[in-house]
Amino acid sequence: MTNILNIKKYAPLNTKNDWDNHSNSPKKNIQNKITAFSREELNSILIIYGRKVVSGEWKDYTIDTLNDQAIFSVYKKTNELPQFSIYKIPKLKNSQGMYQIKSTDGRILKRGSELPLVLKILEKDKSKYKII
């Protein structure tokens, strides 16, 4: 019981230690910006999702929000890999387009800078997909 651990000794050197500061004010420098879908983007995705659920093609979905990308994945069955994943990657906005649709095996089916145009591939028949 004589060993006392000093937590300050193990703090990263490049960050400020706020352990001694007991104020209730929020931190001013928030570096963890999370990428997410906007309301308009989710609305256009969920319209297609609703059509596919009614037709029996899709059953479930997940939304992942990460620091550099947001992912909307759709599933045919709840306990399997996603059938399609819609990616929003803002750092690709000027080069390849911010939106991508990937299949189960990771191939990019469509990519572009406008979400409604990219989502048109999901409304088509599966046999007509062209992989880029």
Express each pLDDT in 82-132 by its tens digit.
999 999 999 988 888 899 999 989 899 999 999 999 999 988 755 455 555
Q: What is the pLDDT of residue 80?
A: 84
pTM score: 0.69
Q: Put the strands of the sheet holding 84-88 in their side by side order.
A: 60-65, 70-75, 84-88, 99-103, 108-112
Q: For the chain, which residues make up each domain, given as ranges?
A: 39-128
Task: Assess whether pLDDT exceeds 90 at residue 3.
Answer: no
Which is more confidently placed, 1 or 112? 112
* Under 8 Å between Cβ of 59 and 75: yes
Q: What is the pLDDT of residue 8?
A: 61
Share of the chain above pLDDT 70, in %: 70
Q: What is the pLDDT of residue 117?
A: 92
Give every CB contact of residue 127 below 8 A, 6+ residues apart in sequence.
none
